[in-house]
Structure 1
Amino acid sequence: MTVRMEKGKWYYQFMIKGQRYHGVCHGATDKKSAEKIETAIKFKSMQQQNGLIPKEEKNVSLNRLKDLYVSYAKNNKKSYKHDNYSLNIILNYFGTNAVVQKITPKRIEDFKQYLKTERNLKNSSINRYLEILSKMFNLGIDNEIIRTNPLQKTAKLREDNHKIRFLTVDEEQRLFKAIEYEHEVTDRHTRKKKIVKPYVFLKPIVITALQTGMRRGEILNLKWSNIDFDYGFIELLDTKSGKARKVPISEVLREVFDSIDKVSEYVFINPKTNKPYLDLKKSFHKVMELANIQNFRFHDLRHTVATRLVEKGIDLIVVQELLGHSNITTTQRYAHPVPERKQQAINILNNYSKK
């Protein structure tokens, strides 16, 4: 038996009846645990060779792994619906009926390049695709229909997590001006002309984002029953972290809620469907163009809230709880001490020494 450490991972390698086996010792933290995992894998491989358990199936389709992933995601991921878009991109690239045993590390590298050049995705977004694809293969291994995962030999791209995009005061003013954009249209039935504001529906949604730091999904799925007007807070139960949290309601936000007709259990309703908005990407992108605001996503409104609070000296623990970050490390990305604050800190120490 042989185990070895390479790039922070433990690998096994052994021979049985002239057949070579090798791979990652998943979950191994040291040599002893890696050897235990290798022993279990070797025992299982011997059983397979002796016909005691099924061998790897031949010509397994990528679509089959996709079905395994969808079943897993529905039971284990809050954001599984968003994964459907990524799954479609993956299957369109490799082919729905692609044989997974023929998807090599080289093809994975080609896929990474496709996402970067053809779809113009950032490294962080590309890594999310790789994570989904890797999970698909691992589920195939767990269900004993395939043996290997080509992504184990594929490195993730380096992510730049230090660039935080947030709205400046000037950009915020331009954003709300663009939301109020109006133009003339002709009614198809009456042939009369009228003035419309196609993006004004975004106004209360954007204000909610800037007054609470809530995630897009939390806003679009917000119900009136989540809002306690007597005590002045929003109670979010179905969150990304899985933990419920309460967000206080500002006077500005209370006015927004008061202006909305309560015609549904949901706060923000698409008048065309009488259901909650499914997505805002197209409309929000158009408003960004009208406002001449570059490289800004709806999620960056959340970054804006965090940045503004930290800049005003709000304690990081408070910001973490308000935004529902599961880890304080996420919140710390917004903490960038300015020279004036550093000087204030030194002055405090200086005053202690004078006593």
Structure 2
Amino acid sequence: NNKWYYRFQLNGKEYYRACKGAVDQKTALQYEAIVKAEIMKGNLGILDNKPKPTLKGAIKIYLEYSEVNKKSYKSDVLSTTIFLKYFGNINLEDITPAKIEDFKRDIKKERNSKNATVNRYLQALSKMLNLAVANELLNKNPMWSVKKLKENNYKTRVLLPEEEKRLFEEIERGYEVVGRDKAKKIIYPYIHLKPLIICALQTGMRRNEIFKLKWAYIDFEYEFIELLETKSGKSRKIPISSKLMKVLNEAKNNTEYVFLNPETNMPYNDIKKAFHTVLKKAEIKDFRFHDFRHTAATRMLENGADIRTVQEILGHSSVSVTERYTHTNAKSKRSAIEILSSY
């Protein structure tokens, strides 16, 4: 693009900006010499008396963009709050690769964050700084030399039939308690998880898609769910199984959302505490709610469903993504190999 930049350090501070009016190396070096001289005189402001773009200004532009164009607006608000708290309202040009490396190290240590979480912060920071470059608030994104942390890829996990049996036994288990009036009664503290898990296993829907499922998305006449708020931004239709239809009929209420938190009568935001407790009681290890999605995909494929059909149900952008999400268990592999012994 035939633009020339100067970069040098003086008195422990790094200077990096465009050489205004420079058309070749010679004029760029001349401009750099003038800048150095003015810095030594304390007159740098004579060269550029415009207020320097700050982090707060870049955050404002980024959040305005994110609110309109991204689904991750809420997480972007959280990330930028952390940026401002850590860096302060410094000039954008003072955010150097070294400062970002310090941020990467400190955020992991102070918040005990996983590598994947730190990388999400770095990704948001890079996008914000790219937008600042696009708006000519910054000459170059300092993230160019910052490497992301190595992530431990989570091994795909599928719920085994015997685990599913134990899980629902614990969910349906009643506990005898004594009330203030000393009367005994039976409570079912985990029963609210049952319809959510059945929906996940019967559809392969993501957790937040289940939490945000609305009655308006369900066609009871033709028995399908049409999801409008998806991760990909594209709507998709999912047929309703007989088992899920029973759950939906039992869940009918007079509100906008299908599944309501019994404590708040509002849509769910989180179920981690109850979910982790019931997993522990059922002796199911290394399992996340998202693994119900893997389980649904695997079960469909293992029972002869066409991979493109499964791709459409799950809402994957390509078949290769669906293949990565599926997992054949050891028992299925053994059965497949035993076929060969008959020859």
TM over 0.5: yes
Larger displacement relative to structure 2 (307-316 or 212-221): 307-316
1:261 to 239, 247, 252: 252
Larger displacement relative to structure 2 (301-310 or 82-91): 82-91
Letter aligned with residue 198 of structure 2: I
Give the percent of matched residue pairs that are identical in Structure 1 and Structure 2. 48
Give the alignment of 1:282-301 within 5 angstroms: 282-301=273-292
C-alpha distance 114-325 of structure 1, shift in aligned 2 (>3 A): farther
SS of aligned partner of 2:238: strand
1:321 to 300, 312, 315: 312
Q: Which residue of 2 aligns with 1:165?
A: 157
2:130 to 111, 124, 138: 138
Q: When the two structures are superposed, what TM-score results if normalisation uses the length of structure 2?
A: 0.74
SS of aligned partner of 1:246: strand
Q: Which residue of 2 aligns with 1:218?
A: 209
**Does 2:98 match 1:103?**
no
Q: Which residue of 2 aligns with 1:251?
A: 242
Residues 13 and 20 in structure 1, CA contact (< 8 A), matched pair in contact too? no
1:70 to 63, 67, 73: 63
C-alpha distance 107-228 of structure 1, shift in aligned 2 (>3 A): same
Aligned equivalents of 1:334, 1:186: Cα separation in 2: 46
C-alpha distance 98-20 of structure 1, shift in aligned 2 (>3 A): closer
Q: Which residue of 1 aligns with 2:226?
A: 235
* Cα drift, residue 241 of structure 1: 1.3
Aligned equivalents of 1:172, 1:21: Cα separation in 2: 61
C-alpha distance 270-122 of structure 1, shift in aligned 2 (>3 A): same
- Superimposed CA distance per residue, residues 161-211 of structure 1 (whole angstroms, 9 cap, x where no aligned partner): 5721222223222322332354455657x6755433232211101110110
Gaps of 5+ in 2: 8-14, 19-27, 32-43
Aligned equivalents of 1:108, 1:153: Cα separation in 2: 10
* Cα drift, residue 318 of structure 1: 1.2
C-alpha distance 52-112 of structure 1, shift in aligned 2 (>3 A): closer
Give the alignment of 1:109-128 within 5 angstroms: 109-114=101-106, 116=108, 119=111, 121-128=113-120
C-alpha distance 246-162 of structure 1, shift in aligned 2 (>3 A): same
* Cα drift, residue 53 of structure 1: 10
* Cα drift, residue 220 of structure 1: 1.1
C-alpha distance 259-97 of structure 1, shift in aligned 2 (>3 A): same
Q: Which residue of 1 aligns with 2:303?
A: 312
C-alpha distance 108-195 of structure 1, shift in aligned 2 (>3 A): farther
- Superimposed CA distance per residue, residues 292-321 of structure 1 (whole angstroms, 9 cap, x where no aligned partner): 333322222112212222333422211110
Letter aligned with residue 71 of structure 2: K
Letter aligned with residue 327 of structure 1: S
* Cα drift, residue 250 of structure 1: 0.7
**Does 2:141 match 1:149?**
yes
Q: Which residue of 2 aligns with 1:281?
A: 272
Residues 56 and 144 in structure 1, CA contact (< 8 A), matched pair in contact too? no
Larger displacement relative to structure 2 (112-121 or 127-136): 112-121
Letter aligned with residue 133 of structure 1: L
C-alpha distance 174-216 of structure 1, shift in aligned 2 (>3 A): same
Residues 181 and 197 in structure 1, CA contact (< 8 A), matched pair in contact too? yes
Residues 6 and 16 in structure 2, CA contact (< 8 A), matched pair in contact too? yes
C-alpha distance 110-77 of structure 1, shift in aligned 2 (>3 A): same
Letter aligned with residue 79 of structure 1: S
- Superimposed CA distance per residue, residues 317-345 of structure 1 (whole angstroms, 9 cap, x where no aligned partner): 11110100112221121456747658979
Give the alignment of 1:71-90 within 5 angstroms: 71-90=64-83
C-alpha distance 53-282 of structure 1, shift in aligned 2 (>3 A): farther
> Which structure's CA Rg is the greater one?
2
C-alpha distance 297-141 of structure 1, shift in aligned 2 (>3 A): same
C-alpha distance 283-104 of structure 1, shift in aligned 2 (>3 A): farther
C-alpha distance 179-336 of structure 1, shift in aligned 2 (>3 A): closer
Residues 311 and 335 in structure 1, CA contact (< 8 A), matched pair in contact too? no
Q: Which residue of 1 aligns with 2:190?
A: 199
Residues 56 and 145 in structure 1, CA contact (< 8 A), matched pair in contact too? no
Aligned equivalents of 1:249, 1:125: Cα separation in 2: 35
Letter aligned with residue 312 of structure 1: N
* Cα drift, residue 227 of structure 1: 1.1
User: How many corresponding residue pairs?
Assistant: 313
1:57 to 33, 52, 56: 52
